[in-house]
Structure 1
Amino acid sequence: MLKTAEKHATKEDTDFIMLKSVIKDRLGFNCEYYKDSHFKRRIDVRLRASGAKDYGEYVRILKDNPGELDILMDTLTVNVTNFFRNTEVYDIVEKEVLPAVIKAKSTTSLRSIKIWSAGCSIGVEAYSIAMLLHHILGDNIRKYNITITGTDIDKASLQQAQQGLYGEVEMKDVRPAFLKKYFVQQGNHYQIIDEIRKMAHFKSHDMISGPKMKGFDIIFCRNVTIYFEKELQEKLYMDFYDGLNDNGFFVMGKTETLLGPSKDRFKPFNAKERIYNK
């Protein structure tokens, strides 16, 4: 019995490795960076839905049914997200972080503000930041050259971000005054007004293996790195550190923690809300 169990476990491991290889080849999604526990939970959703009894059978389904690849990509990159998620974080961003950046830039001739929303999903974080900047600056916003860049590897999410059209689920934490000022209701959906939509642009970028991005005043990467292995988290946090201008801000997720060299490089700005200073 023991030998049979060991043999079965070995076949499962082999099939799982083969599945990860197929996903990398067909989708360009490198599974090796993700914690196996998280990755298997997402994969198991599709095993149950497709009726596959094990990883080996699911590999055959992927090879025979190209449509399953698209569904799997959605499953692997799905994020539950909404505008102003974790409102207490945005309170500090609105009252302390953005005013500090604006004050620093107001003494320069270019008045350029660059912000990166890394792992932006459907764009709600980037637009939340844009609304706050518009709210703080008012008519003075024309005096600043503001660039908000949202990046992700999921093309479907990026398309929705560019469209700027959202359902009621994403709207639950939008304050009434912002809802009235920055959205146009279209049936059960809400369209971001053009003035805010033009402040953000979105592009496909792999923060793990893509080109390094630099020159930012604020980098937001929230609730993304928790799915990665510890060594990769350490690397990414240093990439974000290097990607910031001096005195720039890094905003991470409430359940995430700085690891490795970044712990000594970043200065806590508001440790409770996971906001740090370069």
Structure 2
Amino acid sequence: MITISDNFPVHENDKEFAELKTLIKRKIGFNCEDYKQAHLKRRLAVRLRANHSRSYKEYAGVLLTNETESQRLKETLTVNVTELFRNPETYKSFSKNVLPELFKSKENNKTIRVWSAGCSNGEEPYSLAIMLREFLGISIKRYDISILGTDIDEDSLKKAEKGTYHLKQLEKIGRERIERFFVRNEDYTYGVIDEIRNLVKFRYHDMISGPKLFGFDVIFCRNVTIYFEQALQEKLYLNFYNALNDGGYFVMGKTETLVGPAEELFHAVDVKERIYQKKR
């Protein structure tokens, strides 16, 4: 038995839990088996409590008959707290330790491809675009730069494409950046300027079961794999390795660790900030 609150015990049954996971995959396309089960149960508990369901079977009945609940469950399972320039020290290290070498290697090939995997509402891809603009200045026009943001949450991707944020989401970037790279709207939200927006594209992509992507110079995948079982983490890190061009760079979350064969395939640029380079 798990307890959602002192007055709300939930009967935990393995068979009902397995059946609910199957239903979730069918209803919203979310493969629960890939995630750490303790984390999954904590997320499910939020929706059980909201619907006053005292068992997985009871909640499955709600999910079958209430389409609104399907959307709310998806939001709960894919929730990703993020903001522009989250962990600003990571961007600072990347700009200092990676960008000079990256652009030095691009003297004859002016094409730069960046992938933000699990981009949520677009904060990370836009942060990367701003970082590149600041580093290159007006010489950015000499390069063919493309930043791809992918996610499995289509609603998040729609928000990302709008590129509109509340001031709280911009807390880490500073007033100078806000004035330079954003336009304030009448409702006091802030929209990314076209110069930055034009560097970024968004698309739906399931990094677990979707088609493999290739040809990137940089991949950011932060605070995503922490929720996955180790076997899946190992698979994804190999996929990221293969998706990178020779000498490409991979950045992961500060609480995440390279595991499996990928440990030997990357060398650390900045261990503290989890910045790695693909061995040539």
1:263 matched residue in structure 2: 263
Distance 1:193 1:12 in 2: 51
1:20 matched residue in structure 2: 21
Check conservation: 2:12, 2:55, Cα contact below 8 A.
Answer: no
Is 1:158 aligned with 2:149?
A: no
Distance 2:115 2:211 in 1: 14
2:31 matched residue in structure 1: 30
Task: Indicate how the Cα distance of structure 1 residues 19 and 188 shifts in structure 2: closer, same or farther if over 3 A, else same.
Answer: same
Distance 1:98 1:11 in 2: 50
**Residue 101 of structure 1, CA deviation:** 1.3
Task: Indicate how the Cα distance of structure 1 residues 196 and 253 shifts in structure 2: closer, same or farther if over 3 A, else same.
Answer: same
**Residue 10 of structure 1, CA deviation:** 10
1:4 matched residue in structure 2: none
CA RMSD between the two structures: 1.3
Distance 2:146 2:220 in 1: 14
**Residue 85 of structure 1, CA deviation:** 0.6
Is 1:42 aligned with 2:66?
A: no
Distance 1:147 1:99 in 2: 18
1:244 matched residue in structure 2: 244
Measured against aligned partners, the alpha-carbon deviations of 1:43-98 in whole angstroms (never above 9, x if no partner) come to: 10000011111110000000111110011001111111001111110101122212
TM-score, structure 2 as length reference:
0.93
After superposition, where does 1:92-171 map in structure 2 within 5 Å? Answer: 92-105=93-106, 107-108=107-108, 110-171=109-170
Q: In the alignment, residue 148 of structure 2 is paired with which amino acid?
A: T
TM-score, structure 1 as length reference:
0.94
Q: In the alignment, residue 164 of structure 2 is paired with which amino acid?
A: L
Paired residue secondary structure (2:209): coil
Is 1:274 aligned with 2:274?
A: yes
1:182 matched residue in structure 2: 181
**Residue 272 of structure 1, CA deviation:** 1.1
1:5 matched residue in structure 2: none
Paired residue secondary structure (2:208): coil
> For structure 1, which runs of at least 5 residues remain unmatched after alignment?
1-8
**Residue 11 of structure 1, CA deviation:** 6.8
**Residue 99 of structure 1, CA deviation:** 2.3
Q: In the alignment, residue 16 of structure 2 is paired with which amino acid?
A: D
* Aligned pairs, number: 268
Q: In the alignment, residue 184 of structure 2 is paired with which amino acid?
A: Q
Paired residue secondary structure (1:272): coil
Check conservation: 2:148, 2:201, Cα contact below 8 A.
Answer: yes
2:63 matched residue in structure 1: 62
